[in-house]
Structure 1
C-alpha cells in the first residue's frame, strides 16, 4: 500500500515537472520517426493486457518482438540517445499513474513471449504490477534469458521493501543496467 502511494506521488510529480522534457522529446521524435510515441500491448498484473506507452526508439516498421530479437539497425540515432539515457521510459509514468504499472517491478513482457510467460507464471510473477525498473534491470538481466529473468523477478518480489524500492530507482537513474539487449 505504501509503495503504491510512492508510485502515485512520484509518477504525478514526474509527469508535471517533466512536462517540458516530455514535450521537447516528443517534438524531436516527430522529426526522427514521424511518430514519437510507441504503444504496445503488454502482459500486466494477473496476465491482464494493458497498453505500455514509451518514446519510440526504433523505426516505425520494426516487427513487434522483444528488443533482444530486433535488429540494432532498427534503432534510430535519436533512439540510441533515448535508450542510453533511459528517457524512452518517461511516458510510462502515465502507466504508473493509471495503476497498470509500478515504478519498481518486473518489466512487462509481450504476449508472444511464451517461454517467459510460462516461467513467470510458475514463479508467481504476475501477482504484482509490472514495473519500469527492478532487480533484473539493474543487473542487466533481460528477456533474452527467460528462466533467469523469472527467477530474478520472483526474488525481487519476495524481498521488495521500501529500501530496495528506492535503491532500484536510484540505481536506474544513475545509469546502472543497460536495458534490453538488441542484436
Structure 2
C-alpha cells in the first residue's frame, strides 16, 4: 500500500510568512498622500519650471537633513516657493515613501534634536532626554504645532503641542488637524475677497428713494 501523503526525505515543510498589515495611519498617509500628490503635480511642475527659469541661488529645491522615526536622519527636499503652500505640498513624496506622515511633530534638523555628544549608531540621532518621545513618531507634513502655535498662548508653544500630540495621537486627532490645516489657507483667501467682513454702510444707504437732505 502506498501512503496517502508521501514524504520526501530532505524536504522541509512550507513556511508561512506573516504579512504585516499597514496601520490605519500609514493607510491614510498612502491613500491621501498619493491623491494629493497627483492633484498637486501640475502646479508643482509649473512652479519648478518658473523657478528654474529664474535660476535661484542654490537651485530649485532645498535639501536639508531632518530626524525621522527612530532617530533616522533623512534628507528633506522642499520646493523653493511658498505660493499656495507649494513648499509644503512638494514634501508629499516623503509621505508616500514613509519618511514623513501627513500629521506629526515638526521635522527637526539633527542639531536641534540631539545632544552634541550623544552616542548613536551611524545615520541616527539620539534626542535629548526630554524629547525621547520623538523617536516613536514620524515627523509630519503638518501637525498640531503648525495649526495651533499661531495663537500666541503660552500653552500653544510648538514643543508643548508636539509633545501633546505624541501623548494623545490617534485617527480622530489626525483628521481634526488635517481639517484645520485645510481651512487655514481657505480663511486667508476669503479675507481678500471683496465684501468680506462687516458691511460698511453710510447713512444714505438706508434712505428711501427720492429722499433729499434739504427736506
> Same fold, TM exceeding 0.5?
yes
Equivalent residue number for residue 2 of structure 1: 24
* Superposition map of 1:1-183 within 5 A: 1-32=23-54, 33=56, 35-56=59-80, 79=81, 81-82=82-83, 85-114=84-113, 117-118=127-128, 121-122=131-132, 124-140=133-149, 148-175=157-184
CA deviations over 1:71-114 (Å, ceiling 9, x no partner) = xxxxxxxx4x43xx322111211001111110000111111215
Q: Would you identify which runs of 4 or more consecutive aligned residues in structure 1 move more than 6 Å?
A: none
Structure 2: which 5+ runs fail to align?
1-22, 116-126, 189-215
Root-mean-square deviation (Å): 2.8
The 1:87/1:169 distance shift into structure 2, 3 A limit, reads same
Alignment check: 8 A CA contact 2:67 2:73 kept = yes
Structure 1: gaps spanning 5 or more residues: 57-78, 179-183
Structure with higher RCO (Cα < 8 A, 6+ apart): 1
Q: Which has the larger radius of gyration?
A: 2
Q: Are the structure 2 counterparts of residues 104 and 26 from structure 1 closer, same or farther at C-alpha, using a change threshold of 3 Å?
A: same
CA–CA distance in structure 2, aligned partners of residues 164 and 53 of structure 1? 27
Deviation larger for 110-119 or 7-16: 110-119
Structure 1 contact 120–150 (Cα < 8 Å) conserved: no
Deviation at 1:115, TM superposition (A): 6.9
